[in-house]
């Protein structure tokens, strides 16, 4: 931890961030690597079922809709604790493995609802809250910081913040660093997941730069997207962010987590993302402490595929509990 703190202190001065402007990403090479990932054949049969169950444990089960109510948050929390039907888990001899999603993610105003629902269900699944003017991040800094503090007071143990994209687009790297440092302080003991909104950053080079700044400023995770942009989690963006995480680890010895979000809807998608993490960062990152998938509908397809593996047929919608 001391090594990390030294790295952060060393980069508080403007001169220490001058190297950021010199960074360039090899765009064609990134695209070639992304094509390799997408062309790869997936695992099959019992190996696929095992990987899909593992994918469940990485999901931040999310509801971020304007019509969220306490009842649908309660339903989401129940699904987070019981993500796969028990009879299906028994058929796979996994019913006693306590498989749950990694977290439940909601708006700040719904944190109390999620905390109460999970407590009533008798589980300790973390509650994550989006904050800082999600999804645009265009409210006053004082308001964004207060939103973080209120979410933590209400019981959120993970905070997904959005950055001010204009700071990236105009190359204000020290201002971005200082902003995220304030987010870090406002989070207290809560984990800080910094959303880069990569679809709005203009280039892969900016994605790398923003990733490095976010990690230097104390983020526990860097996250691709809010899920509200036109372009969300893509493999080229992920490759750049994962390489930044690897570079940061080599420089500091500190492991930073990664969270793709937005557009990840199918079991096949989930398997591709797990494969990418394994290849780029290794098995050490294949745990909820360092890898999450932000999703609202992915779990339904994973459960459907597991149902097919167990029964040999696909489930009707009414066969599986809604998330």
> Catalytic positions, please?
223, 259
* Helix residue ranges, H only, the chain: 2-10, 27-39, 45-56, 70-81, 86-91, 111-120, 141-153, 165-169, 173-187, 204-216, 235-252, 267-280, 298-311
CA distances in angstroms from 56 to 15, 173, 277, listed in the order given: 43, 36, 15
**Residue 103's closest CA among 88, 131, 86, 123?**
123
**Residue 29's closest CA among 186, 236, 167?**
236
CB hemisphere CA count around 318 (13 angstroms): 0
CA distances in angstroms from 37 to 33, 122, 263, 285, 295, listed in the order given: 7, 39, 17, 18, 20
What are the structure tokens assigned to 64, written together?
Answer: 């971020």
Q: C-alpha 138: how far from its chain's center?
A: 21
């Amino acid at each position: 931890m001391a090594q990390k703190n030294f790295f952060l202190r060393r980069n508080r001065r403007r001169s220490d961030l001058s190297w950021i402007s010199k960074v360039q990403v090899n765009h064609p090479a990134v695209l070639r690597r992304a094509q390799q990932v997408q062309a790869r054949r997936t695992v099959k049969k019992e190996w696929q079922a095992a990987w899909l169950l593992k994918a469940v444990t990485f999901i931040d089960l999310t509801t971020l809709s304007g019509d969220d109510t306490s009842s649908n948050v309660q339903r989401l929390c129940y699904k987070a604790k019981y993500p796969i039907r028990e009879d299906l888990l028994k058929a796979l001899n996994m019913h006693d493995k306590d498989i749950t999603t990694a977290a439940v993610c909601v708006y700040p105003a719904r944190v109390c609802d999620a905390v109460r629902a999970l407590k009533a269900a008798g589980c300790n699944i973390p509650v994550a809250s989006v904050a800082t003017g999600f999804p645009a991040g265009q409210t006053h800094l004082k308001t964004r910081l207060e939103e973080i503090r209120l979410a933590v007071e209400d019981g959120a143990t993970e905070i997904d913040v959005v950055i001010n994209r204009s700071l990236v687009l105009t190359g204000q790297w020290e201002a971005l660093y200082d902003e995220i440092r304030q987010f870090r302080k406002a989070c207290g003991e809560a984990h800080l997941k910094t959303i880069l909104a990569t679809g709005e950053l203009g280039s892969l080079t900016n994605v790398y730069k923003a990733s490095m700044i976010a990690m230097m400023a104390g983020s526990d995770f860097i996250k691709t997207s809010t899920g509200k942009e036109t372009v969300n989690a893509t493999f080229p963006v992920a490759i750049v962010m994962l390489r930044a995480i690897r570079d940061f680890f080599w420089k500091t010895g500190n492991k930073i987590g990664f969270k793709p979000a937005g557009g990840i809807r199918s079991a096949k998608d989930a398997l591709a993302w797990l494969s990418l993490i394994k290849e780029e960062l290794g098995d050490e990152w294949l745990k909820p402490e360092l890898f999450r998938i932000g999703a609202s509908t992915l779990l339904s397809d994973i459960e459907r595929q597991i149902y097919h593996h167990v029964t040999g047929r696909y489930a009707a919608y009414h066969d599986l509990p809604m998330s």
